[in-house]
Copies of this chain bind each other. A is one copy, B any other.
Amino acid sequence: MPVNLKAPENLLPVAGVRLGTAEAAIKKAGRKDLLLIELAAGSRVAGVFTQNSFAAAPVQVCRQHLASALPIRALLINAGNANAATGNGGLADAQRTSAAVAQALACAASQVLPFSTGVIGQRLPVERMLAAVPRAQAALHAEAWGEAAQAIMTTDTVAKGASRLVETAQGAVTVTGIAKGVGMIHPDMATLLAFVCTDARLTPAATRAAIQHAAARSFNCATVDGDTSTNDSFVLCATAQVGGQDIDVDHSDYAIVLEAISAVSIELAQAIVRDGEGATKFITIEVFDARDAVEARKVALSIAHSPLVKTAMFASDANWGRIVMAVGKAGVEGLHPSTVSLALDEVLLIEGGEPHPQYREELGAAVVAKAEFSIHVGLGRGTARARIWTCDFSYDYVKINAEYRT
Protein backbone atom coordinates (compact mmCIF):
# COMPACT_ATOMS: atom_id res chain seq x y z
CA MET A 1 0.00 0.00 0.00
CA PRO A 2 1.50 3.35 -0.97
CA VAL A 3 1.86 5.82 1.91
CA ASN A 4 -0.49 8.79 1.50
CA LEU A 5 -0.39 8.71 -2.29
CA LYS A 6 -3.19 8.94 -4.84
CA ALA A 7 -3.08 8.75 -8.62
CA PRO A 8 -2.73 12.24 -10.11
CA GLU A 9 -5.83 14.01 -11.34
CA ASN A 10 -5.98 16.91 -13.76
CA LEU A 11 -2.38 16.96 -14.93
CA LEU A 12 -2.05 20.22 -16.85
CA PRO A 13 -1.18 20.05 -20.56
CA VAL A 14 2.05 21.78 -21.54
CA ALA A 15 2.05 23.78 -24.77
CA GLY A 16 4.38 22.10 -27.24
CA VAL A 17 4.06 18.59 -25.77
CA ARG A 18 1.88 15.77 -27.15
CA LEU A 19 1.78 12.24 -25.78
CA GLY A 20 0.65 8.98 -27.36
CA THR A 21 0.51 5.46 -25.93
CA ALA A 22 0.18 2.07 -27.60
CA GLU A 23 0.24 -1.62 -26.79
CA ALA A 24 3.45 -3.32 -27.93
CA ALA A 25 3.13 -6.50 -25.83
CA ILE A 26 6.70 -6.02 -24.62
CA LYS A 27 6.42 -8.22 -21.54
CA LYS A 28 2.85 -9.35 -21.91
CA ALA A 29 -0.19 -8.38 -23.93
CA GLY A 30 -3.20 -6.42 -22.69
CA ARG A 31 -1.69 -3.15 -21.54
CA LYS A 32 -0.31 0.00 -23.13
CA ASP A 33 3.44 -0.28 -22.56
CA LEU A 34 4.84 2.15 -25.13
CA LEU A 35 4.82 5.94 -24.78
CA LEU A 36 5.78 8.46 -27.43
CA ILE A 37 6.33 12.07 -26.35
CA GLU A 38 6.55 14.60 -29.17
CA LEU A 39 8.16 18.00 -28.50
CA ALA A 40 7.62 21.21 -30.49
CA ALA A 41 10.49 22.45 -32.63
CA GLY A 42 12.74 24.69 -30.57
CA SER A 43 12.36 22.70 -27.35
CA ARG A 44 15.34 22.58 -25.03
CA VAL A 45 16.03 19.21 -23.39
CA ALA A 46 18.44 18.16 -20.65
CA GLY A 47 18.83 14.84 -18.84
CA VAL A 48 20.58 13.27 -15.89
CA PHE A 49 21.25 9.55 -15.87
CA THR A 50 22.34 6.65 -13.69
CA GLN A 51 25.90 6.53 -12.38
CA ASN A 52 25.85 2.72 -12.58
CA SER A 53 28.82 1.36 -14.60
CA PHE A 54 26.37 -0.98 -16.30
CA ALA A 55 24.33 1.90 -17.74
CA ALA A 56 21.65 0.38 -19.95
CA ALA A 57 21.75 0.66 -23.75
CA PRO A 58 19.04 3.39 -23.92
CA VAL A 59 20.96 5.47 -21.35
CA GLN A 60 24.08 5.23 -23.52
CA VAL A 61 22.09 6.26 -26.60
CA CYS A 62 20.44 9.16 -24.72
CA ARG A 63 23.86 10.46 -23.71
CA GLN A 64 25.05 10.34 -27.34
CA HIS A 65 21.93 12.01 -28.70
CA LEU A 66 21.92 14.78 -26.09
CA ALA A 67 25.56 15.50 -26.96
CA SER A 68 24.83 15.78 -30.67
CA ALA A 69 24.12 19.10 -32.36
CA LEU A 70 20.48 18.62 -33.35
CA PRO A 71 17.72 19.47 -30.83
CA ILE A 72 15.62 16.67 -29.35
CA ARG A 73 12.14 16.25 -30.86
CA ALA A 74 10.80 13.07 -29.31
CA LEU A 75 11.09 10.57 -26.45
CA LEU A 76 10.18 6.89 -26.80
CA ILE A 77 9.65 5.02 -23.54
CA ASN A 78 8.87 1.35 -23.04
CA ALA A 79 7.97 -0.59 -19.90
CA GLY A 80 8.52 -4.34 -19.41
CA ASN A 81 12.13 -4.62 -20.59
CA ALA A 82 15.12 -2.52 -19.40
CA ASN A 83 17.39 -3.28 -22.38
CA ALA A 84 20.24 -3.43 -19.82
CA ALA A 85 23.20 -5.84 -19.80
CA THR A 86 22.31 -6.68 -23.38
CA GLY A 87 25.72 -5.88 -24.90
CA ASN A 88 26.16 -4.50 -28.40
CA GLY A 89 22.92 -6.09 -29.58
CA GLY A 90 21.00 -3.99 -27.07
CA LEU A 91 22.64 -0.81 -28.30
CA ALA A 92 21.61 -1.63 -31.87
CA ASP A 93 18.04 -2.25 -30.67
CA ALA A 94 17.84 1.17 -28.99
CA GLN A 95 19.20 2.77 -32.15
CA ARG A 96 16.66 0.97 -34.34
CA THR A 97 13.67 2.11 -32.27
CA SER A 98 15.00 5.68 -32.25
CA ALA A 99 15.39 5.57 -36.03
CA ALA A 100 11.82 4.33 -36.46
CA VAL A 101 10.46 7.26 -34.45
CA ALA A 102 12.68 9.65 -36.40
CA GLN A 103 11.27 8.34 -39.65
CA ALA A 104 7.68 8.69 -38.42
CA LEU A 105 8.26 12.27 -37.22
CA ALA A 106 10.56 13.26 -40.11
CA CYS A 107 13.59 14.12 -37.99
CA ALA A 108 17.05 12.65 -37.44
CA ALA A 109 17.55 9.57 -35.23
CA SER A 110 19.78 11.67 -32.94
CA GLN A 111 16.72 13.85 -32.20
CA VAL A 112 14.97 10.93 -30.46
CA LEU A 113 15.73 9.79 -26.90
CA PRO A 114 14.95 6.14 -26.04
CA PHE A 115 14.11 4.94 -22.49
CA SER A 116 13.46 1.42 -21.25
CA THR A 117 12.42 -0.05 -17.91
CA GLY A 118 11.75 -3.63 -16.89
CA VAL A 119 13.64 -6.93 -16.91
CA ILE A 120 17.44 -6.79 -17.14
CA GLY A 121 19.36 -9.01 -19.53
CA GLN A 122 16.76 -9.71 -22.19
CA ARG A 123 16.67 -8.30 -25.71
CA LEU A 124 13.87 -5.89 -26.65
CA PRO A 125 11.05 -7.21 -28.88
CA VAL A 126 12.01 -4.63 -31.48
CA GLU A 127 9.62 -5.77 -34.22
CA ARG A 128 6.58 -5.44 -31.96
CA MET A 129 7.78 -2.02 -30.84
CA LEU A 130 8.31 -0.80 -34.40
CA ALA A 131 4.80 -1.98 -35.29
CA ALA A 132 3.37 -0.04 -32.33
CA VAL A 133 5.14 3.28 -33.06
CA PRO A 134 2.58 4.39 -35.72
CA ARG A 135 -0.28 3.63 -33.32
CA ALA A 136 1.39 5.72 -30.60
CA GLN A 137 1.91 8.48 -33.15
CA ALA A 138 -1.76 8.38 -34.19
CA ALA A 139 -2.74 8.72 -30.53
CA LEU A 140 -0.61 11.84 -29.88
CA HIS A 141 -2.58 14.32 -27.79
CA ALA A 142 -1.77 17.23 -25.49
CA GLU A 143 -4.11 15.97 -22.75
CA ALA A 144 -2.78 12.41 -22.50
CA TRP A 145 -0.54 12.91 -19.44
CA GLY A 146 -2.60 10.57 -17.27
CA GLU A 147 -2.42 7.73 -19.81
CA ALA A 148 1.27 8.44 -20.26
CA ALA A 149 1.90 8.08 -16.51
CA GLN A 150 0.15 4.69 -16.61
CA ALA A 151 1.98 3.42 -19.68
CA ILE A 152 5.41 3.69 -18.04
CA MET A 153 4.46 1.86 -14.80
CA THR A 154 6.03 -1.49 -13.94
CA THR A 155 5.58 -2.66 -10.32
CA ASP A 156 4.26 0.78 -9.41
CA THR A 157 0.92 0.47 -7.66
CA VAL A 158 -0.09 4.07 -8.39
CA ALA A 159 0.59 6.27 -11.45
CA LYS A 160 2.76 9.26 -10.60
CA GLY A 161 2.38 12.79 -11.92
CA ALA A 162 2.41 16.40 -10.73
CA SER A 163 1.68 19.86 -12.18
CA ARG A 164 2.31 23.48 -11.27
CA LEU A 165 1.06 26.68 -12.89
CA VAL A 166 3.12 29.79 -12.04
CA GLU A 167 2.95 33.41 -13.14
CA THR A 168 6.06 34.97 -14.63
CA ALA A 169 6.71 38.39 -16.11
CA GLN A 170 6.26 36.84 -19.55
CA GLY A 171 3.00 35.08 -18.70
CA ALA A 172 1.72 31.88 -17.10
CA VAL A 173 4.14 28.95 -17.17
CA THR A 174 3.06 25.33 -16.80
CA VAL A 175 5.24 22.52 -15.44
CA THR A 176 3.96 18.95 -15.63
CA GLY A 177 5.91 15.79 -14.94
CA ILE A 178 5.41 12.05 -14.73
CA ALA A 179 7.59 9.40 -13.14
CA LYS A 180 7.69 5.72 -12.45
CA GLY A 181 9.64 3.60 -10.00
CA VAL A 182 9.15 2.09 -6.59
CA GLY A 183 12.65 2.69 -5.28
CA MET A 184 16.05 3.85 -6.40
CA ILE A 185 16.42 0.53 -8.06
CA HIS A 186 14.03 -2.17 -8.98
CA PRO A 187 15.92 -4.38 -11.35
CA ASP A 188 13.99 -6.71 -13.62
CA MET A 189 10.96 -4.55 -13.33
CA ALA A 190 11.06 -1.04 -12.24
CA THR A 191 13.68 1.58 -12.65
CA LEU A 192 13.30 5.24 -11.99
CA LEU A 193 12.20 7.26 -15.01
CA ALA A 194 10.98 10.85 -14.73
CA PHE A 195 9.94 13.28 -17.43
CA VAL A 196 9.18 16.90 -16.57
CA CYS A 197 8.00 19.33 -19.24
CA THR A 198 7.46 23.06 -19.16
CA ASP A 199 6.38 25.57 -21.76
CA ALA A 200 8.81 28.15 -20.33
CA ARG A 201 11.38 29.59 -22.73
CA LEU A 202 14.38 28.31 -20.77
CA THR A 203 17.67 28.54 -22.65
CA PRO A 204 19.51 25.24 -23.20
CA ALA A 205 21.99 26.28 -20.48
CA ALA A 206 19.19 27.19 -18.09
CA THR A 207 17.47 23.86 -18.83
CA ARG A 208 20.67 22.01 -17.92
CA ALA A 209 21.12 24.11 -14.79
CA ALA A 210 17.49 23.60 -13.77
CA ILE A 211 17.64 19.80 -14.07
CA GLN A 212 20.82 19.64 -11.99
CA HIS A 213 19.21 21.84 -9.33
CA ALA A 214 15.96 19.88 -9.33
CA ALA A 215 17.65 16.45 -9.38
CA ALA A 216 19.80 17.31 -6.38
CA ARG A 217 16.73 18.36 -4.40
CA SER A 218 14.32 15.64 -5.53
CA PHE A 219 15.29 12.26 -6.98
CA ASN A 220 18.78 12.31 -5.48
CA CYS A 221 17.17 12.63 -2.03
CA ALA A 222 14.99 9.55 -2.45
CA THR A 223 16.05 6.03 -1.60
CA VAL A 224 14.14 2.82 -1.14
CA ASP A 225 16.90 0.24 -0.92
CA GLY A 226 20.16 1.98 -1.75
CA ASP A 227 20.54 0.13 -5.01
CA THR A 228 21.26 2.30 -8.06
CA SER A 229 19.48 1.21 -11.19
CA THR A 230 21.09 0.62 -14.57
CA ASN A 231 18.33 2.71 -16.21
CA ASP A 232 17.63 5.73 -14.01
CA SER A 233 16.81 8.71 -16.21
CA PHE A 234 15.36 12.12 -15.45
CA VAL A 235 14.66 14.45 -18.37
CA LEU A 236 13.52 18.06 -18.45
CA CYS A 237 11.94 19.43 -21.64
CA ALA A 238 11.32 23.17 -22.04
CA THR A 239 9.18 23.77 -25.12
CA ALA A 240 9.70 27.57 -25.19
CA GLN A 241 6.05 28.23 -26.01
CA VAL A 242 5.55 31.02 -23.44
CA GLY A 243 6.76 34.62 -23.80
CA GLY A 244 9.25 36.09 -26.19
CA GLN A 245 12.43 36.39 -24.16
CA ASP A 246 14.74 33.50 -23.53
CA ILE A 247 15.07 32.75 -19.81
CA ASP A 248 18.69 32.20 -18.92
CA VAL A 249 19.86 31.57 -15.36
CA ASP A 250 20.24 35.32 -14.74
CA HIS A 251 16.71 36.19 -15.96
CA SER A 252 14.30 37.38 -13.28
CA ASP A 253 11.78 34.67 -14.23
CA TYR A 254 14.33 31.86 -13.83
CA ALA A 255 13.84 31.51 -10.07
CA ILE A 256 10.04 31.25 -10.46
CA VAL A 257 10.26 28.56 -13.15
CA LEU A 258 13.02 26.75 -11.29
CA GLU A 259 10.89 26.67 -8.15
CA ALA A 260 7.98 25.14 -10.07
CA ILE A 261 10.24 22.56 -11.73
CA SER A 262 11.75 21.68 -8.35
CA ALA A 263 8.31 21.42 -6.74
CA VAL A 264 7.05 19.02 -9.43
CA SER A 265 10.26 16.98 -9.21
CA ILE A 266 10.07 16.76 -5.41
CA GLU A 267 6.44 15.66 -5.56
CA LEU A 268 7.37 12.94 -8.07
CA ALA A 269 10.40 11.84 -6.04
CA GLN A 270 8.32 11.61 -2.88
CA ALA A 271 5.64 9.70 -4.81
CA ILE A 272 8.27 7.10 -5.72
CA VAL A 273 9.24 6.63 -2.06
CA ARG A 274 5.59 6.59 -0.95
CA ASP A 275 5.06 3.77 -3.44
CA GLY A 276 8.37 2.12 -2.45
CA GLU A 277 8.33 -1.65 -2.61
CA GLY A 278 6.40 -2.88 0.41
CA ALA A 279 6.45 0.57 2.05
CA THR A 280 4.20 1.22 5.04
CA LYS A 281 5.98 4.40 6.28
CA PHE A 282 7.24 7.57 4.62
CA ILE A 283 10.27 8.75 6.58
CA THR A 284 12.14 12.04 6.23
CA ILE A 285 15.69 12.03 7.57
CA GLU A 286 17.13 15.43 8.43
CA VAL A 287 20.80 15.69 9.35
CA PHE A 288 22.01 19.11 10.48
CA ASP A 289 25.03 20.84 12.05
CA ALA A 290 27.38 18.76 9.91
CA ARG A 291 30.81 19.98 8.88
CA ASP A 292 29.82 19.80 5.20
CA ALA A 293 26.98 18.59 2.99
CA VAL A 294 28.90 15.44 2.06
CA GLU A 295 29.10 14.14 5.62
CA ALA A 296 25.50 15.21 6.32
CA ARG A 297 24.34 13.15 3.36
CA LYS A 298 26.57 10.23 4.34
CA VAL A 299 24.94 10.05 7.78
CA ALA A 300 21.41 10.44 6.35
CA LEU A 301 22.00 7.64 3.83
CA SER A 302 23.60 5.42 6.46
CA ILE A 303 20.35 5.64 8.44
CA ALA A 304 18.15 5.31 5.35
CA HIS A 305 19.98 2.21 4.10
CA SER A 306 20.28 0.34 7.39
CA PRO A 307 18.14 -2.78 7.17
CA LEU A 308 17.96 -2.77 10.96
CA VAL A 309 16.58 0.77 11.14
CA LYS A 310 14.12 0.02 8.32
CA THR A 311 12.79 -3.17 9.91
CA ALA A 312 12.38 -1.40 13.26
CA MET A 313 10.38 1.37 11.55
CA PHE A 314 8.20 -1.28 9.89
CA ALA A 315 7.49 -2.64 13.38
CA SER A 316 6.68 0.88 14.67
CA ASP A 317 9.48 0.29 17.16
CA ALA A 318 11.27 3.46 18.37
CA ASN A 319 14.46 1.42 18.47
CA TRP A 320 16.81 4.38 18.63
CA GLY A 321 19.88 2.25 19.37
CA ARG A 322 19.78 1.21 15.72
CA ILE A 323 19.66 4.85 14.56
CA VAL A 324 22.65 5.66 16.76
CA MET A 325 24.47 2.62 15.34
CA ALA A 326 23.77 3.86 11.79
CA VAL A 327 25.08 7.35 12.62
CA GLY A 328 28.19 5.80 14.11
CA LYS A 329 28.91 3.47 11.20
CA ALA A 330 28.61 6.23 8.58
CA GLY A 331 32.36 6.71 8.58
CA VAL A 332 32.42 10.39 9.59
CA GLU A 333 35.97 11.02 10.70
CA GLY A 334 36.36 12.41 14.19
CA LEU A 335 32.65 12.30 14.98
CA HIS A 336 32.28 12.22 18.74
CA PRO A 337 29.07 10.96 20.38
CA SER A 338 29.17 13.81 22.91
CA THR A 339 28.05 16.36 20.28
CA VAL A 340 25.29 14.25 18.71
CA SER A 341 21.56 14.84 19.18
CA LEU A 342 18.63 12.73 18.00
CA ALA A 343 14.92 13.50 17.78
CA LEU A 344 11.88 11.73 16.32
CA ASP A 345 9.63 14.56 15.11
CA GLU A 346 9.55 16.88 18.15
CA VAL A 347 10.60 14.23 20.66
CA LEU A 348 14.22 14.62 21.83
CA LEU A 349 15.93 11.30 22.58
CA ILE A 350 19.62 12.16 22.77
CA GLU A 351 21.36 15.41 23.57
CA GLY A 352 25.12 15.82 23.95
CA GLY A 353 25.50 12.10 23.32
CA GLU A 354 23.53 11.18 26.45
CA PRO A 355 20.02 9.74 26.62
CA HIS A 356 17.63 12.62 27.34
CA PRO A 357 16.33 12.37 30.95
CA GLN A 358 12.75 13.25 29.98
CA TYR A 359 12.57 10.69 27.17
CA ARG A 360 10.16 7.84 27.68
CA GLU A 361 9.59 4.93 25.32
CA GLU A 362 5.90 5.85 24.81
CA LEU A 363 6.87 9.26 23.36
CA GLY A 364 9.05 7.75 20.65
CA ALA A 365 6.59 4.93 20.02
CA ALA A 366 3.80 7.45 19.34
CA VAL A 367 5.91 9.11 16.61
CA VAL A 368 7.00 5.98 14.77
CA ALA A 369 3.47 4.57 14.89
CA LYS A 370 2.48 7.28 12.37
CA ALA A 371 2.59 6.68 8.60
CA GLU A 372 4.80 9.77 8.14
CA PHE A 373 7.44 11.13 10.50
CA SER A 374 10.94 12.61 10.61
CA ILE A 375 14.25 11.54 12.11
CA HIS A 376 16.42 14.53 13.09
CA VAL A 377 20.12 14.03 13.74
CA GLY A 378 22.38 16.88 14.82
CA LEU A 379 26.11 16.27 14.51
CA GLY A 380 27.13 19.41 16.43
CA ARG A 381 30.23 20.16 14.35
CA GLY A 382 29.16 22.66 11.68
CA THR A 383 26.22 24.18 9.84
CA ALA A 384 25.70 21.93 6.79
CA ARG A 385 22.61 19.79 6.35
CA ALA A 386 21.03 17.07 4.20
CA ARG A 387 17.54 15.66 3.75
CA ILE A 388 16.66 12.15 2.55
CA TRP A 389 13.26 10.52 2.05
CA THR A 390 12.97 6.81 2.55
CA CYS A 391 10.52 4.09 3.49
CA ASP A 392 10.55 1.10 5.79
CA PHE A 393 11.46 -2.50 5.09
CA SER A 394 8.57 -4.92 5.36
CA TYR A 395 7.64 -8.54 4.72
CA ASP A 396 6.17 -7.29 1.45
CA TYR A 397 9.56 -5.92 0.39
CA VAL A 398 10.98 -9.44 0.63
CA LYS A 399 7.88 -10.89 -0.99
CA ILE A 400 7.93 -8.49 -3.93
CA ASN A 401 11.62 -8.99 -4.58
CA ALA A 402 11.82 -12.69 -3.86
CA GLU A 403 8.80 -13.63 -5.89
CA TYR A 404 8.95 -11.35 -8.89
CA ARG A 405 10.41 -13.68 -11.46
CA THR A 406 8.61 -16.80 -10.20
Q: Which residues of A contact B (CB under 8 A)?
A: 51-55, 82, 84-88, 119-121, 185-188, 225-230, 305-308, 311-312, 314-315, 317, 319-322, 324-332, 335-337, 350, 353-355, 393-395, 397-399, 401-406
Contacts and interface: CB of A to CB of B under 8 A. Distances in A.
Nearest to A191: B325
Contacts of A315: 401-403, 405-406
Contacts of A395: 395, 398-399
Contacts of A393: 307, 398
A269 B162 CA distance: 50
Contacts of A328: 52-55, 228, 230
A168 to B, nearest CB: 39
Given A121-B355, A227-B308, A324 B188 contact: no
Contacts of A51: 329, 331
Nearest to A350: B85
A405 to B, nearest CB: 5
Contacts of A312: 401-402, 405
A321 to B, nearest CB: 3
A332 B53 contact: yes
A114 to B, nearest CB: 18
B398 A226 contact: no
Contact of A321 (B119, B403, B406): B119
B353 A307 contact: no
Contacts of A86: 355
B401 A311 contact: yes
B54 A355 contact: no
B355 A87 contact: yes
Contacts of A335: 53
A227 B321 contact: no
Contacts of A306: 225-227
